[in-house]
Amino acid sequence: MMSEKITTELDAVAEELITADLANLQDLGRLITCFQILLKRVADCGITSALKPVSAAIDLIKDAILNESADRKQLLNVLNATVSCLQQSTRSGSTADNVKFPDELFLKITTAQERAGGTAGDTASNQPQHAQLQGDPNPPDDQSADRSLHNYLLPLTIDENMFADFLNEQSSILDKAEGNILSLEKSFTKDVLDDVRRIFHTMKSESAVFEIASIALLCHGVEDLLDSQPAEISFDKLLLVIDWLKYAFDCLKTARMLPDVPETLRVFINPHDAPGGQAALKPSPQGREYVINPEPISAMHSSVRNQELSDKKSADEPYAPPVDASSEKTSLPLVHMDVDLLSDFTAEVQEHIDTIDQRLLVLENDPADQENLNAVFRVFHTIKGAAGFLALDEISKLAHMTENILDRARKGEFQLSGGRIDIIFEAVDEMKRLIQTIHTAIASGSSSYPSSPTLEPLIQRIQTVAAGSQVLQQAGASQGPRRQMSPSHQDRDPAPEQAPVQNEQPDSFFSLNAEVADLQENPDDAMLNSGMHVSLKMRESIKVDSERLDKLIDAIGELVIIESMIRQDSSITSLASSVLLQNISQMDKITRELQQLAMSLRMIPVKGTFQKMARVVRDLAKKSNKKIEFISSGEDAMLDKSVVDRIGDPLIHLVRNSVDHGIEASSSHRVAADKNETGKIELNAYHKGGNIFIEVKDDGGGLDKKSILAKAKERGLTREGQVLSDREIFNFILLPGFSTALKLTEVSGRGVGMDVVKRAMDDLRGNIDIESEEGAGTTFTLRLPLTLAIIDGMLVRIGSERYIIPTLSIVEAVRPEHDSITSLVNRGEMITIRDNIIPLFRLGTLFSIADARQDPAEGIVIVVEDSGKMAGILVDELLGQQSIVIKSMGATMKGLPGVSGGSILSDGRVGIIIDVAGIVKLAMSGSLAG
């Protein structure tokens, strides 16, 4: 009966599939028509279970039409499989319920429902999918290097920016989840559990939007498990999930590849797997949950954001001016130098624009006039299209933004009245100006034209107007049918009677303000208001790539220098005009603020890094069978991003050492030493004096001073009888090669690769300090500069030259007595400071400064320290301490002994920054003896 009707259609489709060339648009078009007929038949015959697969198939063909890079072969396979599934089920007379449709269809269904806002449909067509996924023919081997990767194609409806943002966000989200899981393991609280579940829920929803089925399913499974059986959670497994997700997002980010879910994690995909396998196929509340119902707020939130993103993309990206950001902004090149074409274009646009005014006036009186609305829309649309070809970016952008508003008015999202029609008028005027500017430029034979100062503000206003209505619309949608069915709310006009007020105030938020006021009159419209906040809040955060930030910081650095040059210029100070001086000091203040602000832009909290350490401790402790409690504090301390990025590895080294060597191997040792059975590792970060300190502290056995000393003697690093401070002894472990020797002899020391840590600290211009008490534990303290762009430096004078010594390395400055200086054979000059004999050398000699003072007693000795070794540097005078913006010295000056960089001093002269480590090394080798 019914199957007969359908068989004919199925055969027709099957035949079409055999002859079709899926790369051919015409064939694809025919296929869609075939499938649409099939869909109608399926519906007529009441085979509801096949409705979704067939419409999904249609969607897949549509995707192929819209996306030329879509995999045609795969599509053909899926379509063929779909048809044969249907054929099979009609032949057997059943209702296709037990038919296994291809995975891709299922994915399509999920994401389509996801987009539709998650109305719970019948799950019948989803169920076979479970079976399909479970029985995946190629189970990938877990953890192996050649995990199979699949190409991932971005769904066409989603733009690249959105996807990039999504991927970028995931790592911090996963870090957060990881932190939560670790704390759950420690103490189980419902709040944290909810947090974790929410994270998986959001990730599931978002992944589904991006059509990443494996991740969506995995997250779904985890969410399900957290929901139903939180008691049965294996934290190890959860952490594995996190690891795999990190890896998967990494693959997506770097290679657009998607790895298979490893076998070990597949249990999550259907948590009711083993015994209750059948039960899972029944539509249980959880099973139904594939139809994901995002909370209204988050839906609104993300739609607003998506809208913003796509606006941003379409407004900036395809039409982004091809001008170098650093080049002069006020003038844009005429890239397309076909002068004839350009002048024809301007003339034609002029013509079209002239007709718009008339049409807009009609529209103002009758906003529903579709004909005029369409005509105005088309003009902007056409201008945008042509301007795109001619690389006239300003015109293109303006036309695009205006077209957007008009298009939405056309679609009935709002009426073109009040502030909206005003903004269109403004856009027309601006367009006229832009065209005129280009026309003038061409006429004068110029190859560039000045950019419009009024364009950006206008675009912003257009965006505001667009955003205002966007919120209205979004909020309306999330309010459900009631709101959608009340057009009086939707079409609420932003108060025409307020129009004159609007014109008076140049405030770009005029339209929005009107709407806010409007909304607040309705107290039950709380949702609308919160939507507004979302929109406003979204505007506050902008993603900027770090390179641009660096450029800004560089420029501000230059500004600071030039500002202080002006301030100290003798011709200015000699003018002694009090007003001028006052203004200059005001400028000075602002410049400093600007500099601080700029620096703070790069600052990020160390939290992420600390969280990683929590994981390291946990895993290592498990591995080595030690009970260790990890405590961290001060995670909110901010550091320059480049510093944060580079302290990860050294910290891992330190933390690993603390677990491996710091905490005693067996808890009985600890108990015997009257300590808590559970070891403790603490990670603290805090600010002190313009630096950040990071402490890695354990309450383990402490460093074995004796073995270290013995080793040092063996290696000739110290002599018998030499008195060394604890600090000096501990510092030996920072020497390259020292630690491995310790390890080889199995002495209970530590410091595997401590030289690596030391080197990293040197690179970051920080240092490391070790405190340890035998039996009580060890503390490593890292001192780091807040930023790498600026150092705190001591400005010193030698003769007529000035140098900068990083304050971080300075221990003290003393005026030496004559008799404290001695000359030792082969070791050059030495100075005795409080019973310590340290090498002394004269910068004047190293840099051949002729007018340097020769008598040390007339100068100052600056005692510097590096790696626990001290040296004295003789200078003529201390000039003061200041923040120094570091400038690279360029390739020719690289590698000069004793010099690490340069800076421009406030009088505009170059100051050389002394490389203390290099000088100490030179001093120790005695080669400076002179």
Residue placing its CB nearer to other proteins in the complex, 473 or 595: 473
> What mask of x and - would describe binding to other proteins in positions 407 to 426, judged by CB under 8 A?
x-------------------
Stretch that binds other proteins, among 20-28, 249-257, 437-445, 626-634 (CB under 8 A): 20-28
How far does CA 795 lie from the centroid of its chain?
38
Q: Does the protein bind other proteins through residue 112 (CB under 8 A)?
A: no
The least CB distance from residue 769 to other proteins, in Å, is: 59
CB of 33 to other proteins, least distance (A): 5
Among 25, 337, 517, 896, binds other proteins (CB under 8 A): 25
Q: CB of 202: closest distance to other proteins in angstroms?
A: 28
- Which residue among 276, 277, 285, 318 contacts other proteins (CB under 8 A)? 318
The helix (H) or strand (E) run that includes residue 258 is: strand 257-259
Q: Strand 801-806's sheet: what is its strand order?
A: 877-885, 790-798, 801-806, 910-914, 899-904
Distance CA(756)–CA(491), nearest Å, equals 66
At 322, list the tokens.
């091809």
Tell me the residue type at 362: V
Q: How far is the CB of 375 from other proteins (least distance, A)?
A: 7
Identified binder of other proteins from the candidate list 2, 32, 281, 710, rule CB under 8 A? 32
How many residues belong to the site for other proteins (CB under 8 A)?
A: 32
Q: CA–CA distance from 810 to each of 416, 799, 804, 821, 872 (Å)?
A: 69, 21, 11, 20, 10
Q: Which is nearer to other proteins, 36 or 881 (by Cβ)?
A: 36
Shortest spacing between CB 114 and other proteins, in angstroms: 18
The tokens of 247 are what?
């890896």
CB nearer to other proteins: pick between 401 and 528: 401
In the list 48, 183, 314, 748, the residue contacting other proteins (rule: CB under 8 A) is: 314
- Show the binding pattern over residues 322-341: x = contacts other proteins (CB under 8 A), - = does not: ----------------x--x
Residue (198 or 313) nearer to other proteins, CB: 313
| The one among 19, 26, 187, 892 contacting other proteins by CB under 8 A | 26
CB of 57 to other proteins, least distance (A): 14
d(CA 154, CA 165): 13
State the nearest-atom distance from the C-beta of 386 to other proteins, in Å: 5
Looking at residues 338 to 397 of the shown chain, list those that interact with other proteins (rule: CB under 8 A). Answer: 338, 341, 344-345, 348-349, 375, 378, 381-382, 384-386, 388-390
**Complex with other proteins: residue 103 or 413, whichever CB lies closer:** 413
Q: Which is nearer to other proteins, 396 or 469 (CB)?
A: 396
What is the DSSP pairing of strand 767-773 with strand 828-833? unpaired
Exposed / middle / buried, residue 769 (Cβ in 10 Å: 0-12, 13-18, 19+): middle
Given candidates 11, 15, 33, 585, which one binds other proteins under the rule CB under 8 A?
33
Distance, in Å, from the CA atom of 801 to the CA atom of 780, rounded to the nearest integer, reads 38
Task: Candidates 21-29, 236-244, 415-423, 661-669: pick the segment binding other proteins (CB under 8 A).
Answer: 21-29
Contact mark string toward other proteins, 772..811, x via CB under 8 A: ----------------------------------------
Q: Which of residues 563-622 bind other proteins (CB under 8 A)?
A: none
Where in 58-97 is the site for other proteins (CB under 8 A)? 62, 65-66
Minimum gap (Å) between residue 318 Cβ and other proteins: 7
Q: How far is the CB of 537 from other proteins (least distance, A)?
A: 27
Can you tell me the distance from the alpha carbon of 118 to that of 142, in angstroms, rounded to the nearest whole number? 33
> Would you give the binding string for other proteins spanning residues 829-858, x where CB under 8 A is met?
------------------------------
Shortest distance, position 76 Cβ to other proteins, whole Å: 16
Helix (H) or strand (E) holding 603: strand 603-605
The region of 26-34, 435-443, 570-578, 752-760 touching other proteins under the rule CB under 8 A is: 26-34
Please say which residue, 347 or 575, places its beta carbon nearer to other proteins.
347
Nearest distance, CB of residue 490 and other proteins, angstroms: 22
Cα–Cα distance for residue pair 407/370, rounded to 1 Å: 11
Encoded tokens for 786: 């807040």
Task: Work out how close the CB of 80 gets to other proteins at its nearest, in angstroms, rounded to a whole number.
Answer: 20
Hey, which residues between 140 and 179 contact other proteins (CB under 8 A)? 156
In angstroms, what is the minimal distance from the CB of 101 to other proteins?
Answer: 22
DSSP code of 696?
E
* Alpha-carbon radius of gyration of the chain: 36
Contacting residues for 908 by C-beta, under 8 A, at least 6 apart? 561, 565
Rounded Cα–Cα distance for residues 503 and 508 (Å): 11
Nearest distance from C-beta of residue 20 to other proteins, angstroms: 12
216-222: long-range contacts, CB 8 A cutoff, minimum separation 24: 216/110, 217/133, 217/261, 217/269, 218/244, 218/245, 218/261, 218/265, 218/268, 218/269, 219/245, 220/269, 220/289, 220/290, 220/292, 221/267, 221/268, 221/269, 221/270, 221/271, 222/268
d(CA 223, CA 230): 10
Question: In this chain, which stretch among 27-35, 482-490, 497-505, 716-724 interacts with other proteins, using CB under 8 A?
Answer: 27-35
Q: Which is nearer to other proteins, 341 or 910 (CB)?
A: 341
- Give me the least distance between CB of 108 and other proteins, in Å please: 15
In angstroms, the CA 838 to CA 923 distance is: 9
Residue 393 or 829 with smaller CB distance to other proteins: 393
Residue type, 202: T
Minimum CB–partner distance for residue 589 and other proteins (Å): 48
Alpha carbon 814 to chain centroid distance?
48
Instruction: Decide whether 408 or 492 has the Cβ nearer to other proteins.
Output: 408
Tell me the C-alpha distance between 484 and 466, whole Å. Answer: 19
329, with CB counted inside 10 A (0-12, 13-18, 19+), is: exposed
Tokens of 280: 């899972």
Least distance CB 736 / other proteins (angstroms):
56
Neighbours of 863 (CB within 10 A): 19
Closest CB to other proteins among residues 78, 614? 78
Rule CB under 8 A: choose which of 11, 12, 29, 505 binds other proteins. 29
Distance from C-alpha of 290 to C-alpha of 111, rounded to nearest angstrom = 10
**CA–CA separation, 887 vs 749, rounded Å?**
41
Binding-site member from 30, 256, 410, 827 for other proteins (CB under 8 A): 30
Cβ neighbors of 654 (< 8 A, separation 6 or more) are 696, 757, 780, 782
Q: Roughly how many angstroms between the first and final C-alpha of the chain, as a whole number?
A: 110
Question: Nearer to other proteins by C-beta: 407 or 877?
Answer: 407
Closest CA to 28 of 83, 65, 78, 67: 65
* Binding segment (CB under 8 A) for other proteins, from list 18-26, 459-467, 572-580, 624-632: 18-26
Give the nearer residue to other proteins in terms of CB position, either 310 or 845.
310
Minimum Å gap between C-beta 381 and other proteins is 6
Select from 730, 619, 822 the least CA-distant residue to 181: 619
- Give the interface with other proteins as residue ranges (CB under 8 A): 23, 25-26, 28-30, 32-33, 62, 65-66, 156, 314, 318, 338, 341, 344-345, 348-349, 375, 378, 381-382, 384-386, 388-390, 403, 407
